[in-house]
Every structure is written in C-alpha cells, then in structure tokens.
Amino acid sequence: MPKKGEPRPVELELAGGRAEIIELPGEGGYGWEATAETGVTEKGPEPYGSASEAAAHAGAFLQRHACDLDAAHADCETMIRWAMIGVMVRRLTRGRAATRPGPRPLARWAPGKPAELRASRGTTVPS
C-alpha cells in the first residue's frame, strides 16, 4: 500500500499475466513491471512519458509471453491430423482407383542444353 502522497500503482491484467504501472518520481516518467502467464518477469527498460505509453509497452510484453508454445504446437498437430484423416476418407470412399496423367513428352531442344548434347542427338538449334 502506498504511503500518503505517493502515487498509487495502476494494475493491468491481460492475457493471463499482470503488470503494474508506476510513476517514477525521481526520473519524471512512468515505468512498469510485469509477470506473464508463462512466469517470465520483466521491468520496463526506460521511463515512459505517460502512464498510457507504459501500459501499452507492458501490454505488448504480456501478449508476447502469453501462450505456451507446446500447447500451440499440439493444436497445430491435431488440425493436421484431422485434415489428413479427411483426405484419407475421401480417397477410400471415392469408389475408383486414382488416375494420373501419362508422362509429358520431352522437348527436342531446350535453350539450356549443351551444344555437344544437342549434336549427339542430331538436333539443330532453331533460328
């Protein structure tokens, strides 16, 4: 609890974390100290000109450290698994074999082929 006459800290709760915005009387600005959802704690590196500017930087910090990356990857893997299950079900229920186009014919002359290779095949350079 701040003493009488001292500035009262502003608390900010965002994305599972908590930050305190405090006035720095000796430096003439505002600072912040935050603990994110993942347990990372950090103080603002410099005094900010207003409380709202300090709150914006603290909020950005809380958002950056909000999610657990392992849980996010698990969700991605689950989505990929369900997508592949859908693909396999469509393929199995199609009722016919998959058809593929035949091989494409090779070009007789290509600008990138060496001259001796073209000569060995009896091809000439078109003009």
Can you list the positions of beta strands (E) in the chain? 10-14, 17-24, 29-35, 41-43
Binning pLDDT at 50, 70 and 90, where does residue 111 land?
low
pLDDT at 86: 87
Q: How far apart are CA 121 and CA 7, in angstroms?
A: 89
The pTM of this model reads 0.49
pLDDT tens, 70-104? 666 667 788 888 899 888 888 888 877 777 777 77
Mean pLDDT of the chain: 77
Q: Is residue 109 predicted with pLDDT exceeding 70? A: no
Specify the pairing of strand 29-35 against strand 10-14: unpaired
More confident residue, 106 or 40: 40
